[in-house]
Structure 1
């Protein structure tokens, strides 16, 4: 991975450990030239930079989808709330300006397009086949399942599905992404690798 991009990714606001980010980059770099990478759950763009570096190496494109109002666990009173991401005018979370700065500083806007909206709404009208789908949106059971249902049908045959924050043991974290993993395994995907909480799967059916 490009050293400058790696350093910017590691310094960006977010929750992607370096080893998982490196695995994300490797998967993106394997996408066929001209392919589309779709990220569901952008936050401030940390994981987006790993995907962008891989996409640039592969000759692919990244689309990242987020409503930028923060997931449930990012809201005031929750463990992962960051008050610096609250818009003082509205009192609401707003990570979009931070994403813009992340992409501009890294100079990856030639390979990354940000789509602002709820993933399940965008997924309804989406029509372009996806070579790699990275799911890292809301972690409630309802939202994680909604993200999966909205986007999994767009993954092309042989395409990759990456799921973040998979914790089989409830003592380690929430179970919603793990349940999405189990569903994907039952619906035509095979697991390819594990790095920390990141699982990489391939569509075989």
Structure 2
């Protein structure tokens, strides 16, 4: 996967869904085009029944995709991130982007890039940024969800916290999408795979479809607010 740089100059606000999806493709972030296309379709259909939530905003690439889906569905998507970077992307580390480092604190700060991305996309009504650590937000979250996208930190601790903290709020029949799920260790990290298997084996979720490293699940047992087993 590669990260595309955002436009260096503001351009016209995208007017159509196709324009928004093209805008997303040119936005800095990590999302293969075919997986982004699937994300849009499943989110659009799910969001017709209620709000959605993304965990892991980065600079807003997938938030634009979800915002386009929310606009078509007449819904809204919240996106949660502390904007200090993930465990594998920090100042001075192998994969970090030096242009995202706040020189005052020598820390990653993707919040200004996210704000500009959503403003340039014209999606400030459809995409609501929530700035904070996911476990902190989860402790206070009480809104039932029609759609949840887990794409935050990729350690066992982070993925498990995201699943236990937010998947419980997905309504019966609602959709959960988990990104970066790799069955084989040689293809990628295993924590998202372990959470995916936990969801399936537990019987509360069924696999709807998949593409690349993306798994789309539907909640078939339990109601919003029930704890995840």
Instruction: State the TM-score, normalized to the length of structure 2.
Output: 0.87
Alpha-carbon distance between aligned partners in 1 of 2:142 and 2:113, rounded to the nearest angstrom: 28
Alpha carbons of structure 1 residues 34 and 168: separation in structure 2 relative to 1, 3 Å = closer
Alpha carbons of structure 1 residues 21 and 89: separation in structure 2 relative to 1, 3 Å = same
Structure 1 equivalent of residue 150 of structure 2: 135
Q: Is the 8 A contact 1:161 1:202 kept in 2?
A: yes
Structure 1 equivalent of residue 172 of structure 2: 157
Q: Is the 8 A contact 2:46 2:146 kept in 1?
A: yes
1:168 corresponds to which of 183, 203, 209: 183
For residues 47-79 of structure 1, give each alpha carbon's deviation from its aligned partner in whole angstroms, at most 9, with x where no partner exists. Answer: 011111111111111000000000101113444
Q: Which runs of 5+ in 1 are unaligned?
A: none
Count of residue pairs the alignment pairs up: 205
Cα distance, 1:2 vs structure 2: 1.4
Q: Is the 8 A contact 1:34 1:61 kept in 2?
A: no
Instruction: State the TM-score, normalized to the length of structure 1.
Output: 0.97
Task: Give the structure with higher Rg (CA).
Answer: 2
Whether 1:198 and 2:198 are equivalent positions in the alignment is: no
Structure 2 equivalent of residue 24 of structure 1: 39
Q: Which runs of 5+ in 2 are unaligned?
A: 1-15, 222-229
Instruction: Indicate the RMSD between aligned Cα atoms, in angstroms.
Output: 1.2
